[in-house]
Amino acid sequence: MMSFDVETLQRYATIRSKEAISIIENHTEALFGRPDIVITPEGKVNSSKDEIIKISIGGLKRLVLEAVTFGSFLWDVESYVDSRYHFVLK
């Protein structure tokens, strides 16, 4: 069984910078392709063009482990940069 403590999940689920958002978007696009997001006149996301991805339980576990690994890598790199370079927040 795969489980993580609450503190680890909260830490790695926190996006710390605009750069991290960009990296996550690029990585997601590389894995799944560029999404076609259409907003309806009512302001809702139109999901009629969405594709269904079939994945086994084993594949889902690997996908989650990759996401956690990727998140921890981003967290570690951002922590290193924060410790080496002191940027001024505006």
pTM score of the predicted model = 0.51
Domains in the chain: boundaries: 6-84
Per-residue pLDDT at 56 = 92
Question: Is residue 15 pLDDT above 70, yes or no?
Answer: yes
Render pLDDT for 22-57 as a digit per residue (tens, 0 to 9): 888 888 888 777 777 777 888 887 777 777 888 899
- What residues pair up with 38 in beta bridges, in sequence order? 46
DSSP string, 14-35: ----HHHHHHHHHHHHHHH---
CA distances from residue 79 to 55, 70, 72, 73, 74 in whole angstroms, order as listed: 33, 14, 10, 10, 8
